[in-house]
């Protein structure tokens, strides 16, 4: 199962029941499988700086800033993308990440019985893209009983 943290808009406190499997109301059970693969933004200085920039841009958003972002996109990606494709991506420049994988989220996963098995960095395709990685979690067996021993 692959989950994108970017798709989960809940605050960390609301995410906790999903991680440990207590939230049965939702159709999407996120962390109750034996293994989970999590795609997420990395918690690094680059992403924190870019998130701050996106928060400022969100406050200042106007047709002028949309056009500036589109022009910068043309400079960076004009050869490989159409104007329609670039326009489609302008709103992303105003959207900071809800959360990044950090020590707090890793501790929350561990408290729910998930062990980080392997992190894999993902190649970034643009300077304007946040740095991502994929993390594989394994569910740690708890309260295992041997019957008949």
**Number of continuous H segments (helices) and E segments (strands) in the chain:** 5, 4
Tokens of 28: 């999407």
pLDDT at 105 over 70: yes
Phi, psi of 96 (to 5 degrees): -70, 155
pLDDT at 2 over 70: no
For residues 85-92, give the mean pLDDT: 93
- Where in the chain are the domains? 2-139
87 vs 22, residue with greater confidence: 87
- The percent helix, strand, coil of the chain (3-state, each to 5) is 40, 20, 40
Strand, helix or coil at 63? helix
| Local confidence band at 28 (pLDDT 50, 70, 90 cut-offs) | very low
Pairing mode of beta strands 132-139, 35-41: antiparallel
């Amino acid at each position: 199962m692959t989950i994108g943290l970017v798709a989960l808009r809940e605050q960390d406190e609301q995410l906790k029941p999903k991680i440990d499997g207590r939230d049965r109301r939702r159709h999407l059970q996120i962390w109750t499988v034996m293994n989970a693969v999590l795609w997420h933004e990395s918690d690094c200085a680059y992403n924190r700086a870019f998130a701050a920039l996106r928060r400022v841009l969100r406050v200042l958003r106007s047709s002028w800033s949309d056009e500036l972002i589109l022009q910068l996109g043309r400079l960076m990606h004009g050869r490989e993308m159409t104007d329609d494709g670039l326009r489609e991506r302008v709103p992303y420049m105003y959207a900071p990440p809800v959360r990044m994988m950090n020590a707090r989220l890793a501790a929350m996963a561990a408290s729910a019985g998930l062990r980080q098995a392997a992190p894999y960095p993902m190649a970034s395709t643009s300077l304007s893209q946040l740095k991502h990685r994929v993390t594989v979690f394994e569910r740690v067996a708890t309260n295992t009983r041997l019957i008949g021993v």
